[in-house]
């Protein structure tokens, strides 16, 4: 009987390993040229997203900042692996349909002034990222945490064991959690995640509840007995999903 139980435990462990999210994610942030954000959105809506899927790149989510003066398009795509991602991106750029769509879109001037790209791996506590559209309008929050040296594992432990659950208790939905793949992008000291709220006013209420929660205060204090985890204040951006985003 002991051997049978051990075998089933092995099978469950193996299944858990197989179920881990091993996809390659890419966070891309485009800063549109003055007055070109709508044209950029049109290009994605009418051409880019379809061509991404055609070449094996999965559209995860597309957002614009809640701040109307911020002319960025923020999006996440994914593929089975980093190698597959590179191959798919090359095929996308070489596609005649993309070249045509790109050329037509910049006849009156370039649409993008700056592009920032970060390749990411999902953390072991990240929810499965799915194309979910809710009945209520959601605002999404992109947050980036930079830790002190050798403290990323402590931050992961705090989120895994406490923070994610407390978020949910206060009306925040855990969307996804990632760490960068490349050292120059913060592989050893950065956590990037997205949560959602039902509106910006609700977001403020959610955060007040979270920060004042005794369970959070206890978890934070316990995690920082050996020193502060974060090297600086988190960077945050409130975002609204665009009409063509798979997740809203």
Mean per-residue pLDDT for 129-158?
90
Greatest CA span in the chain, whole angstroms? 74
β-pair type (173-180, 72-79): unpaired
Angle at 163 between CA 198 and CA 208, to 5 degrees: 50
| The length of the chain, given as a count of residues | 248
DSSP 8-state class, residue 159 = I
Asked if 191 contacts 147 with a C-beta cutoff of 8 angstroms, the reply is yes
Q: Give φ, ψ of 21 to 5 degrees.
A: -80, 105
pLDDT, tens only, 4-34: 433 333 333 333 333 589 999 999 999 999 9
Q: Give φ, ψ of 145 to 5 degrees.
A: -110, 130
- pTM (2 decimals)? 0.90
Q: Report residue 137's pLDDT band, with 50, 70 and 90 as the boundaries.
A: confident
Q: Report residue 136's pLDDT band, with 50, 70 and 90 as the boundaries.
A: confident
- Does residue 2 surpass a pLDDT of 70? no
- Does residue 206 surpass a pLDDT of 90? yes
Instruction: Give the residue with greater pLDDT, 3 vs 196.
Output: 196
Q: Would you state the pLDDT for residue 133?
A: 65
DSSP H or E segment with residue 185: none
Domains in the chain, CATH or no CATH each: 21-241 (3.30.70.100)
Residues 6+ apart with CB under 8 A from 150: none
pLDDT, tens only, 105-121: 999 999 999 999 999 99
* Helix residue ranges, H only, 106-238: 152-158, 164-169, 200-211, 214-223
């Amino acid at each position: 009987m002991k051997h049978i139980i051990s075998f089933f435990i092995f099978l469950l462990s193996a299944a858990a390993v197989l179920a881990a999210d091993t996809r390659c994610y890419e966070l891309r942030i485009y800063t549109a040229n003055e007055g070109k954000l709508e044209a950029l959105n049109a290009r994605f809506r009418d051409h880019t997203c379809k061509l991404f899927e055609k070449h094996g790149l999965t559209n995860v989510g597309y957002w614009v900042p809640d701040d109307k003066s911020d002319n960025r398009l923020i999006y996440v795509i994914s593929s089975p692996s980093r190698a597959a991602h590179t191959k798919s991106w090359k095929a996308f750029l070489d596609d005649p349909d993309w070249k045509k769509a790109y050329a037509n879109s910049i006849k009156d001037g370039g649409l993008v002034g700056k592009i920032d790209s970060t390749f990411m791996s999902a953390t072991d506590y990240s929810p499965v990222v799915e194309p979910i559209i809710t009945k209520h309008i959601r605002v999404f929050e992109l947050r980036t945490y930079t830790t002190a040296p050798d403290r990323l594992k402590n931050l992961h432990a705090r989120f895994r064991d406490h923070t994610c659950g407390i978020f949910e208790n206060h009306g925040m939905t855990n969307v996804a959690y990632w760490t960068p793949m490349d050292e120059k992008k913060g592989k050893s000291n950065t956590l990037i995640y997205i949560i959602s709220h039902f509106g910006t006013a609700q977001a403020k209420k959610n955060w007040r509840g979270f920060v004042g929660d005794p369970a959070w205060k206890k978890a934070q204090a316990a995690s920082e007995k050996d020193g502060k985890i974060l090297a600086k204040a988190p960077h945050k951006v409130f975002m609204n999903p665009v009409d063509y985003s798979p997740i809203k």
